[in-house]
Amino acid sequence: MSGGEVVEVAESEHALLSIARAVVGELPPRAVSSVLLRKRKAIQQMDARSLDLLKQTLAIGVPLTLVRRGGFRRTRHVGDSGVVTEQRAFERNELSLHFGEETFRLLAHLVASDVSQAGLGGSKLVPTLGDQLVTYLAADVTRAVAAPRGARLTRSALCWFGHLRSVARTAPKSAPPLMPLVECPAVIESLSPDWATRWVACDRGKASVITCDDMIALGHTQQLLLESYFDAIDAAGRRDLARFFVQAVARLIKEDEDPLAWAGSLKLSKEPLSRRAEAYHAAATSYFMIERVARWATEAGAVHFIDDDYDQAQLFLSIWEEVGEEGLAVCRERVSALEDVHSA
Amino acid sequence: MSRAYRIAVTETLRRHVVVGDHVKSKLGLLDVLPPEEMAELLERRLLEAGFEKGEDGKMTRETDGVVVEIDLLEQTVAVRVEGEVNLDLTLEGVGRSVQKTDEKLEDQLRKQTKARLEEAAKKEAETARGKLTDRLEAALADIRPELDQLTNKVLGDALKQRAGQLGEIQEISEEENGSMTIRVKV
């Protein structure tokens, strides 16, 4: 298709392409609110030209979105070859995204449904990383009309990082596989600043949680995600990808002085003490999950100059510096402050 | 004019339910001595306070149904309270039918009545549990300061023992506020 050519598409295809454009940031979310709220006959397939337009939109728009969200920054990370470099995410690691049928099905669902009732829906298809990215970005767009929800959200590891509170409402028992995400570190490095901001917002949002069940579900979901994520990045030799979490905790230490505020809205009067204690423990999740990162920092500190992974260890220590031993002590105090309220 | 017959079913629920509540936390003792030695000092003080050592090595004490259990090596304390409720509930479910006997309606009424019984049982168990929680909270108001005092004493004992290992203890003075000064000749 040459540049400047006007392509005529059907109304439903136009709706789908508009949503795709909003997903990649070419349109503001409010521009597609009416589309998202209206029910239509489901699209089963697209005209070849419309499909080409969709492919173009995603192929150019999704990487551009990653660049805008953080991929443009020069950061020090471990590259594909295991060497530490200061580069942009795409310069250091190859980005290879495939958008499968699941992406089309998601966009078709958003066109056909009233998203405020149907959410993001579900699917039996196994999403590729590209599909997960589209779901992650689409959930941000649908936030303009309703809190994101649906099975598509809960089975995407990427969406757990972006929409944790929504995922927590489903009280998941385990996290989805993290390795496919960790195997494409350019995505993680690009979204890292986004994740740090969302993590901080999620923890601060605990201040408005009313029931012990909701607080426990939220803390448990955070813990499931972090445990799986830490296992995956450790196995991949990429502990540096814990950066977003260290940055989030550093901000919380610096900016949020009263740990008890996070549990301030909990209605406790009819709850057993054991449940109250569980809820307060859940409120403190970030403050105790940082302990694993602290242990990695201790291990990094023991790596000698002549060891092969010295540069990686030094990189990790520089990341850890944002929290450091002082910050760790604050985290421990806050865990105690939250847990001692309902203890012996 | 057709008659409407009153169909009534009665369901009974008898159940023995155990309810309880508990809290658990760390004692927060400083590691002045190795864990086994700290455990020995803790055990001594707990025995003085009326605790008994169980076969599993944990120290327990029960007062008015409130059990305090301390793990010497883990340095954790658990406080729990349990109670039993004997539920004996009967409810009637009533409906109307044009037939004198209506099996379908009876089945429906039985299901609904059983569901109401389960709700009532849950509510009664919850009320009993609520009373136990209140008891546990009240007990904790006494247990917490007692444990604080006890751990302070254990810490004092540990400091004295450690000081004795470093050299010759010349003087020990203890203030009312719990602070301690130990003079050691090394």
Query: How would you class A31 by CB atoms within 10 Å of its CB: exposed for 0-12, middle for 13-18, buried for 19 or more?
Result: middle
Tell me if chain A has a CB within 8 Å of the CB of B140.
Answer: yes
Partners of residue B21 in chain A, C-beta under 8 Å: 272-274
Residue A135 pLDDT? 96
Q: With an 8 Å Cβ cutoff, are B68 and A272 in contact?
A: no
- Kindly state the percentage of chain B with pLDDT values over 90: 70
Tell me if chain A has a CB within 8 Å of the CB of B19.
Answer: no
Number of structural domains (chain B) is 1
Q: What is the DSSP string of A27-79?
A: S-GGGGHHHHH---PPP----HHHHHHHHHHHHHHHHHHHIIIIITS-EEEE-
Asked if residue A260 lies in contact with residue A338, where contact means CB atoms within 8 angstroms, the answer is yes
pLDDT in tens, chain A (344 residues): 445 677 777 888 899 999 999 999 999 999 999 999 999 888 888 888 889 999 999 999 999 999 999 989 999 888 877 788 888 888 887 788 999 999 999 999 999 999 999 999 998 888 999 999 999 999 999 998 898 999 999 999 999 999 999 999 999 999 999 988 998 999 999 999 999 999 999 999 999 999 999 999 999 999 999 999 999 999 999 999 999 999 999 999 999 888 888 999 999 988 999 999 999 999 999 999 999 999 999 999 999 999 889 999 999 999 999 999 999 999 999 998 888 877 76
Tell me if chain B has a CB within 8 Å of the CB of A6.
Answer: no
What is the residue type of A272? Answer: P
Rounded Cα gap, residues B66 and B62, in angstroms: 5
**Which of A271, A272, A344 minimises the CB distance to B25?**
A344
**Which of B23, B28, B126 minimises the CB distance to A277?**
B23
Q: How many CB pairs under 8 A join A and B?
A: 37
Identify which of A122, A123, A106, A121 has the alpha carbon closest to the alpha carbon of residue A43: A106
Domain extent at residue B73: 5-185
Partners of residue A277 in chain B, C-beta under 8 Å: 23-25
Identify which of A248, A154, A239, A157 has the alpha carbon closest to the alpha carbon of residue A194: A248
What is the residue type of B110? Answer: R
**Which of A270, A271, A343 minimises the CB distance to B25?**
A343
Rounded Cα gap, residues A53 and A90, in angstroms: 24
Identify which of A136, A109, A237, A147 has the alpha carbon closest to the alpha carbon of residue A195: A136
DSSP helix/strand/coil, B6 = strand
Residue A344 pLDDT? 64
Q: With an 8 Å Cβ cutoff, are A273 and B21 in contact?
A: yes
Residue B186 pLDDT? 84
Q: With an 8 Å Cβ cutoff, are B79 and A340 in contact?
A: no
Give the minimum alpha-carbon distance from A273 to chain B in angstroms, rounded to a whole number: 6
**Which of A271, A272, A340 minimises the CB distance to B25?**
A340
Tell me if chain B has a CB within 8 Å of the CB of A340.
Answer: yes
**Which of B21, B143, B147 minimises the CB distance to A274?**
B21
Tell me if chain A has a CB within 8 Å of the CB of B147.
Answer: yes
Partners of residue A270 in chain B, C-beta under 8 Å: 126, 130
**Is a pLDDT exceeding 80 seen at residue B100?**
yes
Q: What is the DSSP string of A264-320?
A: TT---TTS-HHHHHHHHHHHTHHHHHHHHHHHHHHHHHT--TTSTTHHHHHHHHHHH
Partners of residue A273 in chain B, C-beta under 8 Å: 21-23, 133, 136-137, 140
Identify which of A58, A42, A49, A48 has the alpha carbon closest to the alpha carbon of residue A6: A49
Chain position carrying tokens 């949680």:
A209
Q: With an 8 Å Cβ cutoff, are A277 and B147 in contact?
A: no
Q: Return the minimum-mean-pLDDT range out of A53-62, A80-89, B42-51, B177-186.
A: B177-186
| B83 secondary structure, DSSP code | E
Q: Where are the domains of chain A?
A: 1-155, 175-344
pLDDT in tens, A240-281: 999 999 999 999 999 988 888 899 999 998 899 999 999 999
Tell me if chain A has a CB within 8 Å of the CB of B24.
Answer: yes
Residue A239 pLDDT? 95
Nearest CA in chain B to A271: B130
Give the minimum alpha-carbon distance from A284 to chain B in angstroms, rounded to a whole number: 14
Which residue in B82, B133, B142, B144 has the most chain A C-beta atoms within 10 A of its own C-beta, making it the best mutation to test that interface?
B133
* Tokens (6 digits) for B132: 């136990």
**Which of A336, A339, A344 minimises the CB distance to B79?**
A344
Tell me if chain A has a CB within 8 Å of the CB of B78.
Answer: yes
Tell me if chain A has a CB within 8 Å of the CB of B72.
Answer: no
| B64 secondary structure, DSSP code | T
Partners of residue A336 in chain B, C-beta under 8 Å: 28
Name the region of B91 (left: φ>0; alpha: ψ -120 to 50; beta: rest).
beta
pTM of the model: 0.87
Give the minimum alpha-carbon distance from B182 to chain A in angstroms, rounded to a whole number: 28
HSE at residue B48, side-chain half, CA atoms within 13 A, is 13
* Tokens (6 digits) for B177: 């506020």
Nearest CA in chain B to A340: B25
pLDDT in tens, B25-34: 888 888 889 9
Which residue in A212, A274, A338, A342 has the most chain B C-beta atoms within 10 A of its own C-beta, making it the best mutation to test that interface?
A274
Partners of residue B24 in chain A, C-beta under 8 Å: 277, 343-344
Partners of residue A271 in chain B, C-beta under 8 Å: 133
Q: With an 8 Å Cβ cutoff, are B78 and A340 in contact?
A: no
Give the minimum alpha-carbon distance from A278 to chain B in angstroms, rounded to a whole number: 9
Residue A4 pLDDT? 64
DSSP helix/strand/coil, B142 = helix
DSSP helix/strand/coil, A86 = strand
